[in-house]
């Protein structure tokens, strides 16, 4: 059995795979190089991006089923009950992956997850409330992808639902 690649090498391979995928599918997008950023708070503190345009992608697993990527913008929080209703399972059958599980399953670290990591076994769900353009993960902490939201939906076959927790 070969040694696992160092995380930075894994992330770079994922980044290159996403670049090839977007190019092959002729998806209109822009790469944004920036200081290392792993969280929405990092981005708000360090980067010149409107935090409400940043699409964070969170990885969930369904008990006895596959993974789900969930994207929502800014500081919004996921309403687990709404997510369960959207994907057709009870809330108790959904859980977030640990950082180790994210790395094992997607070859990227938490904070570098991209909505383009979908495949036949991994679906993307997006909250219905987002701007015309979003800035999303690329697999690396020092690059993001700016993309038209409709183009993101089209290229990832994303499902839309109201997934945001209403803050009191």
Number of compact structural domains in the chain: 1
Question: In sequence order, what are the beta bridge partners of 62?
Answer: 94
Note the pTM of the prediction, 2 decimals: 0.89
| Full domain range(s) for residue 145 | 7-161
Asked whether residue 154 is assigned to any structural domain, the reply reads yes
Asked whether residue 166 is assigned to any structural domain, the reply reads no
- Greater pLDDT, 159 or 2: 159
Q: Using alpha carbons only, what angle is made at residue 82 by residues 70 and 151, rounded to the nearest 5 degrees? A: 35
Asked whether residue 144 is assigned to any structural domain, the reply reads yes
- Which pLDDT band holds residue 63 (cuts at 50, 70, 90)? confident
With beta carbons less than 8 A apart as the criterion, state whether 137 and 114 touch.
yes
Asked whether residue 155 is assigned to any structural domain, the reply reads yes
Specify the CATH number for the domain of residue 130.
Answer: 3.90.960.10
Mean pLDDT value across the chain: 91
Asked whether residue 59 is assigned to any structural domain, the reply reads yes
Asked whether residue 76 is assigned to any structural domain, the reply reads yes
Rounded alpha-carbon distances, angstroms, from residue 99 to 16, 57, 59, 88, 167: 22, 13, 10, 25, 26
- Greater pLDDT, 75 or 1: 75
Q: What is the pLDDT of residue 5?
A: 47
Tens digits of per-residue pLDDT, 79-123? 999 999 999 999 999 999 999 999 999 999 999 999 999 988 899
Asked whether residue 151 is assigned to any structural domain, the reply reads yes
Asked whether residue 27 is assigned to any structural domain, the reply reads yes
């Amino acid at each position: 059995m070969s040694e696992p690649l160092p995380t930075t090498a894994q992330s770079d391979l994922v980044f290159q795979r996403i670049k090839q995928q977007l190019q092959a599918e002729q998806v209109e997008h822009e790469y944004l190089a920036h200081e290392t950023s792993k969280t929405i708070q990092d981005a708000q503190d360090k980067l010149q991006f409107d935090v409400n345009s940043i699409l964070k992608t969170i990885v969930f697993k369904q008990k006895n089923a596959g993974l789900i990527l969930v994207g929502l913008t800014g500081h919004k929080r996921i309403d687990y009950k709404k997510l369960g209703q959207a994907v057709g399972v009870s809330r108790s059958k959904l859980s977030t992956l640990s950082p180790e599980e994210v790395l094992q399953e997607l070859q990227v670290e938490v904070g570098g997850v991209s909505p383009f990591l979908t495949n036949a076994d991994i679906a993307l769900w997006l909250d219905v409330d987002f701007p015309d353009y979003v800035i999303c993960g690329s697999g690396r902490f020092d690059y993001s992808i700016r993309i038209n939201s409709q183009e993101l939906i089209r290229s990832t076959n994303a499902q839309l639902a109201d997934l945001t927790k209403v803050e009191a």
